[in-house]
Copies of this chain bind each other. A is one copy, B any other.
Amino acid sequence: MSRIQALYRVRAPRADIERIAQALALEQSVETPLEAVRDAFVADAIVARVGSIEEHAAGVFDVRVALAEATTGGDVAQTVNMLFGNSSLHEHVELVDAVLPDTLAARFGGPRFGLAGLRERLGVHGRPLTCAALKPQGLAAARLAELCETFARGGIDVIKDDHGLADQSYSPFAERVRLCQRAVARVSRETGRRIAYAPSLVGAPRALVDQAAYAGAARVAPPLLLGKLFRLLGADAVIYPSYGGRFAYSEALCRGIADALRGPLHGMPAALPVPAGGMTVERVPELVRCYGADAMLLIGGSLLASDDLAGRTRAFADAVAETAAA
């Protein structure tokens, strides 16, 4: 089966890079220790494979990893997940490049018009196209349309809404688009030039969930992103990487996330903190002390890595019950 060729840049001591690269390949495919992979098909066809490791600079390595195309299920979001899912939480890892198999790329479609099609539609050849943006937001639709007309008359090829323009009360989308399009058409008629007006489309409520779920958003503070925003958007429970596991969140930060999920927020019901990521049965008492009873502990790979899954699972459940009862 085909593989996606991903290139990661990884900061690591030279002595550790081999081990870290292998961990990266597991994190971006099966998300379990290799010991937990007991199925021959999974080991052969699904686990990501480390290709070359080259030193890019002192202590920085280019790591090539071949990801199984089958893991994407042909879905775009899942492809991103496979390219830079868990590893986007690792500060030492950057996703630098990815080459998809043609079969996978074909599912995504590519441009409809493209550079040549845009040129043709605008009738502009042999020079760069020009574009201007309608702003500031806050202006009424009629004022934006005046701006639009001015840009059009000035010779701009494409006039776009600034991305701050949404469907705001002071310039409703439908009215703005009608007036700006009319302005552009008028100038086109009078001048014979083709001019395009490009309205800004702002996503539905799902967009934030999609955006916020992406840990590449590394510079948004986790208690806000995972605690308040997810909850605002309707999350009943939020899974996040707990301290002392595979991710670099501190105990204080993790408490902050839990506090944000459970504290007062516009009178909304509290949501359930679900710390996770490299947790073990042995740590249950400590985790319960940290998070209290109003949390859900999530243990993944360390259960599966055991030879006695049933027993280990029971031990987990028992440890939680016993610690809470103590």
Contacts and interface: CB of A to CB of B under 8 A. Distances in A.
Interface of A: 29-32, 36-37, 39, 41-42, 45-47, 68, 70-73, 75-82, 84-85, 88, 93-98, 100, 102, 105-106, 108-118, 126-133, 135-139, 143, 147, 150-151, 153-158, 160, 162-164, 166-170, 202-208, 210-214, 216-221, 223-224, 228-229, 231-237, 262, 265-266, 268-272, 274, 276, 288, 291-301, 303-304, 309-310, 312-314, 316-318, 320-321, 324-325
Given A96-B224, A211-B77, A106 B216 contact: no
Given A115-B272, A143-B39, A313-B132, A234 B109 contact: yes
Nearest to A74: B167
Contacts of A156: 313, 316-317
Contacts of A111: 231, 234-236, 268-271
A141 to B, nearest CB: 13
A75 B167 contact: yes
* Chain copies in complex: 2
Contact of A46 (B105, B116, B137, B293): B137
A213 B231 CA distance: 22
24 contacts: A29-B136, A31-B136, A42-B137, A47-B136, A47-B138, A71-B168, A75-B204, A76-B233, A77-B208, A80-B211, A81-B164, A84-B220, A85-B164, A94-B220, A95-B220, A98-B228, A110-B268, A111-B236, A111-B269, A118-B236, A128-B291, A128-B295, A131-B299, A133-B300
Given A167-B73, A293-B128, A211 B211 contact: yes
A28 to B, nearest CB: 9
Task: Name, among A77, A143, A168, A298, the residue most crowded by chain B CB atoms within 10 Å (CB to CB).
Answer: A77
Contact of A132 (B84, B164, B298): B298
A82 to B, nearest CB: 7
B30 A136 contact: yes
A131 B288 contact: no
B296 A73 contact: no
A297 to B, nearest CB: 5
A300 to B, nearest CB: 4
Contacts of A211: 77, 80, 210-211, 213-214, 216
A114 B168 contact: no
Given A41-B138, A109-B234, A236-B112, A150 B216 contact: no
Given A127-B324, A236-B112, A320-B130, A30 B204 contact: no
